[in-house]
Amino acid sequence: MFSRRHSRNATLAFRLHMTGVSLGNSRDQLNKKLQERIKSMRGIKMGIAAAALAFAATSAQAADITIKFSHVVAENTPKGKMANKFAELVHERLGDRVEVEVYPNSQLFGDNKVLEAMALGDVQLAAPSLSKFGKYTSKLQVFDLPFLFKDMKAVEKFQQGPKGQELLHSMEDKGFIGLGYLHNGMKQLSASQPLIEPADADGLKFRIMSSDVLAAQFEAVQAVPLKKPFSEVFTLLQTKAIDGQENTWSNIYSKKFFEVQDHITESNHGVLDYLVVTSADFWNGLPDDVRPVVKKSLDEAIAYGNKISMEKAEADKKAIAESGRTTIHELTDEQRAAWVESMKPVWKQFEGDIGKDLIDAAVASNG
Ligand code: LMR
């Protein structure tokens, strides 16, 4: 309730600010001010300005609910495209009743702040990487275990299976509802030097997302993990404050990490997917005739994002290879097996936190 009023008033105030009218206490006051303002205008300018004001007044009155969707990646990524598609579908179906405002590139909140902002009602929808929920549940850490999923088909099978669906509800006691999974893809390792054997990572500093499992994964190869927000990665790499990072092809491409990393190893050692999440207060406060339409639009936007994620990974990998700015290394089966052997003990280390049942179900999805 608070979040809806808050968002709506903020949008209204912004629109009126743009038209030179300050927000009064009541709609009557507001209409009176608008009328006075319209009356005081003359000539052609008056016509245009009056039309703009009338539009502002109409849409301010009509848009009951604003959904702020905050994310950290570029628009030309599976998540960026999914968010824009969602806004489009909601607009088509709910017109001015619900307005979706998408904020990409950490413009509104960085990934370490967005869930706190959501709890306060300052943002209504987000899709953080599954690695960024450690403060709220240890269960989602299953997705970070290195070399757990063979490929994205296995990830999809696990997510859509009973255990994956159960995980959508794993933070309801903290006031968050998982509305669905969105794919990005498998992660690759990049560094200022070639990473062919695990020993190559020894002593190198790697930026990681805020996950203890990912920290353990790099510690397993004697590297130094540093938890840093996504928005800082390019500069950290460029200034050589860190040596490497792990990410998907679409993030490495859209954020230009490949321009400041001489080597990328096609390791496919883990998955980077998202949980589309909302706050229970906001979601349960939506009118009963609006919630299903928003959910249907979200499901369709997620399906679209998932469909393009594989194509984007391929296309972005190709673009990186063709740029000539970095060298992509493929691993032989034997080289890959050495990385698996070094990193796999992390599974046992986190079995107690995550639950053996979840790990077993994830392994079974490879079959
Ligand atoms: C990262 O921090 O590397 C990713 O979570 C960014 C993203 O949202 O894809």
Residue range 182-231, pLDDT digits in tens: 999 999 999 999 999 999 999 999 999 999 999 999 999 999 999 999 99
234 pLDDT more than 80: yes
CA distance 117 to 104: 15
SS3 content of the chain, % helix, strand, coil (to 5): 55, 15, 30
Pairing of strands 244-247, 205-208: parallel
pLDDT of residue 38: 41
pLDDT of residue 323: 98
Decide whether any atom of ligand 1 lies within 6 Å of the 309 Cβ: no
Decide whether any atom of ligand 1 lies within 6 Å of the 265 Cβ: no
pLDDT of residue 112: 78
Closest CA to 228 of 203, 198, 199, 257: 257
- Prediction pTM value: 0.84
* Contact (Cβ atoms closer than 8 angstroms) between residue 96 and residue 65: no
> What amino acid occupies position 279?
S
> Closest ligand 1 atom to the C-alpha of 72?
8
Decide whether any atom of ligand 1 lies within 6 Å of the 72 Cβ: yes
Residue nearest to atom 5 of ligand 1 (CA): 129
> Closest ligand 1 atom to the C-alpha of 132?
5
Strand boundaries in 231-316, DSSP class E: 244-247, 263-266, 271-279
- For 337-362, the pLDDT digits (tens) are 999 999 999 999 999 999 999 999 99
| Residue 111 pLDDT class (50, 70, 90 cuts) | confident
* Contact (Cβ atoms closer than 8 angstroms) between residue 112 and residue 267: no
Decide whether any atom of ligand 1 lies within 6 Å of the 106 Cβ: no
Residue written as tokens 């994956």? 164
pLDDT of residue 259: 98
pLDDT of residue 53: 44
Strand boundaries in 187-270, DSSP class E: 188-191, 205-208, 224-227, 244-247, 263-266
* Contact (Cβ atoms closer than 8 angstroms) between residue 346 and residue 216: yes
- For 62-109, the pLDDT digits (tens) are 558 999 999 999 999 999 999 999 999 999 999 999 999 999 999 999
Pairing of strands 224-227, 205-208: parallel
Decide whether any atom of ligand 1 lies within 6 Å of the 70 Cβ: no
Ligand 1: centre distance to CA 209 (Å): 7
Residue nearest to atom 2 of ligand 1 (CA): 230
Please compute the mean of the pLDDT values over residues 124-145 and round it to a whole number.
98
21 pLDDT more than 70: no
Mean pLDDT value across the chain: 87
Ligand 1: centre distance to CA 21 (Å): 39
